[in-house]
Structure 1
Amino acid sequence: MNRSHGTLPASPSIANARRRRIQTALGLTLIELLVSIAVLTVLLAIGVPSFAAMARQWQQDAAIDTFVGDVRLARSTAVRTSRPVVMCALDHKTGACTPQANWTVGWMVFSDLDADGAFDAGEPVIAHRGAQAGNASLIEASPSPSEARLRFRNNGTLSGGGVKLNLTPEGTTHPARLVVLNFMGRARVANVE
């Protein structure tokens, strides 16, 4: 027994075993590293495409939510102010309301003080949105695509009857979702069957 410290000295075989355990636990072999990288590559190859589809769906949902939110804003503003409110599709060159029923470029919501359905100087802009992310296009489906304006009367009803808007993702030919506005001006989102 070592009298100065009160402990027994460690035998040389125990000390060597401890050193060997420490040396073997310090790193990975090249084979282990390559196997880990191969497993990670396979997992990423499986997961990334499904994540990309999910991200695309989130962007489409965000575009629909923004559009429907502005429809609801236009309707509630018409009721709150007792004045007509118009939501119109924008032209990609001028940034003004367009007669084409394509909402891809963006839209504008404004109070129509003179009730003529057109944006005039001095009429307050309630919301102005540019093109939405998500490679999605909103195109009017019915009635006919002759006008790209949603006119809300001062009581919140939709002038001209109900409207259906298709949301067609870029790169596909069939619509994924349908935004339906009834004659009361209420909007809902439906899946296309």
Structure 2
Amino acid sequence: MSLCARFTAFESPGSRALRGFTLVELLVTIAVAAILTMIAAPAMQTMLATRAVAGNADDLAAALRQARSEALKRGMPVSVCASADPNAGAAACADGVWTAGWLVFTDPGADGSLDSGDSLVRAFTGSRSVESVVEDDDKAFTTFTANGLVVGGPRRWVVMPKLSSSDANSQRTVCLPVSGRAQVKTGGEAAC
């Protein structure tokens, strides 16, 4: 007697063989999955917003580090400015609109504006998941001297998510001391 014959011999024509899930089992499984999704969704949304803020703050710090490095390498002032549209063909600085993005450019005049004699080093685009990037003194630009120091004293930016929660841990602070070494700290009220 073959193996198949042995198993089929135990099934009677009226017995129900295991053929899949019943409708009730399927509905219970879908209900449990829906409840677990509703529980996890707010935490997932918060986590994604926090990651977007952290990424945006890291990009701003990277731009500041690159500007300092370029100033040291080229032996001339290099600025980082806020830009309303950093990916435009003729990218330009904008007054205090850090949320959309920022530009790194050589700035021989150290005036913080991208003029015809300046060369664009790199454009950074802000994240759409970020509500605001606020510089403490409402400055639209930061300039590094040829020796890598920050012109005009230390700077501080706070990056905030679009979530309505006021969780300070979901915010990031980008600190730029006079020495020019940018740091990212957790929290919107972090001391620099």
What residue is the counterpart of 2:152 in the other structure? 160
Of 96, 106, 115, 1:101 maps to: 96
Aligned pairs for 1:35-114 within 5 A: 35-91=28-84, 95-98=91-94, 100-114=95-109
Instruction: Look up the SS of the partner of 1:120 in the other structure.
Output: coil
Q: Distance in 2 between matches of 1:39 and 1:136?
A: 34
* TM-score normalised by L of structure 2: 0.80
Aligned CA-pair RMSD: 3.0
2:180 to 181, 185, 192: 185
* Cα distance in 1, alignment partners of residues 164 and 154 from structure 2: 26
The higher relative CO (CA closer than 8 Å, separation ≥ 6) is in: 2
Say which one has the larger Rg.
Answer: 1
What whole-Å deviation, never above 9, does each CA across 1:84-128 have from its counterpart, x for those lacking one? Answer: 101011246985213x33311221110113444332113210111
CA distance in 1, matches of 2:165, 2:40: 26
Separation (CA, whole Å) in 2 of partners of 1:41 and 1:115: 57
Equivalent position of 2:135 in the other structure: 140
TM-score under structure 1 length normalisation? 0.80
Q: Name the SS for the 1:108 alignment partner.
A: strand
Cα distance in structure 2, aligned partners of 1:21 and 1:179: 73
State the match for 2:19 in structure 1: 26
Give the 3 Å change call, closer, same or farther, for CA 172–186 of structure 1 in structure 2.
farther
Percent identity over the alignment is: 30
- Equivalent residue letter for 1:96: A
Aligned residues of 2:130 and 2:159 also touching (Cα < 8 A): no
Decide whether the 8 Å contact of 1:63 with 1:134 is kept in 2: no
Contact 1:106 1:131 in 2 (8 A): yes
Structure 2 unaligned regions, length at least 5? none
* Structure 2 CA distance for partners of 1:30 and 1:173, relative to 1, 3 Å: closer
Unaligned runs of 5+ in 1: 1-6
